Amino acid sequence: MEIKVVANVLKLNDEVAALNRRALAEAGVACLNIMGSPGCGKTALLEATLPRLRPALKIGVIAGDIATTRDAERLAHLCDGVTQINTGGSCHLDANQVRQGLANLDLHALDLVIIENVGNLICPVTFDLGQGAKMGLFSVPEGADKPAKHPRIVLEADLLVLTKTDLLPHVPFDKTIFDADLRSLRDDVTLIETSVVSGAGLDAWCQWVRRFVDERKGVQARQVSQSRTE
């Protein structure tokens, strides 16, 4: 009985996620769902790179947190629209919350919506939000064993980022173990190593984002024209 209830919740979520995906496709907006533990550097990465990605890309942000509007406040002046979703205790965003967040953004004026998910590496991975790509963050001070302990994000992410590499000389972090665990889970995974302090990897991340937006818009345009001829 328990299992059936959980399955129904996820089924309903998936139906709303499909509506989100369709709304994004019709507006021609790519969407990236960023997941990582609390404090791994999700907002800091956006603060450091949104000014480089704009104005060429018009970017909206949906920030998910249990409480406060602090991330939205940090990002408001750096993007073309921001919505904060307070989950009121829930440890992940669901598709319905994102649907409300999307309704608060002027999608036709955007190229990309970035979702900063609630800081957590467990259930956010299981909730489809309608995104076109998932990105997982690990940070150096969390320790090298986190990919092995959180295999699902490694298996499902379109991009992984290792943040805070400026701290490598200062904290014990066995990069050999980190890399070996990643590769044993997924040989083909793309990993970008970043630091907002040294600036390392920020260009590579921006390049990845630009390419993702281009490719995603191409896929969406084909899907929309195909659905109109059906």
Ligand X SMILES: Nc1nc2c(ncn2[C@@H]2O[C@H](COP(=O)(O)OP(=O)(O)O)[C@@H](O)[C@H]2O)c(=O)[nH]1
CB of 212 to ligand X, least distance (A): 20
First to last CA, the chain: 39
Binding mask 32-71 for Mg ion (x = CB under 5 A): ----------xx---------------------------x
Q: How far apart are CA 81 and CA 75, in angstroms?
A: 9
Binding residues among 137-166 for ligand X as defined by CB under 6 A:
163-164, 166
CB of 42 to Zn ion, least distance (A): 16
- The residue from 21, 42, 92, 164 that contacts Zn ion (CB under 5 A) is 92
- The residue from 196, 206, 209, 213 that contacts ligand X (CB under 6 A) is 196
Where do runs of H (alpha helix) occur along the chain? 2-27, 42-53, 70-75, 95-103, 146-149, 151-156, 175-185, 202-229
Cβ distance to Mg ion smaller for residue 42 or 216: 42
Residues 193/200, Cβ–Cβ less than 8 Å: yes
Provide the residue count of the chain.
230
Positions in the binding site for ligand X (CB under 6 A): 36, 38-44, 119, 163-164, 166-167, 195-197
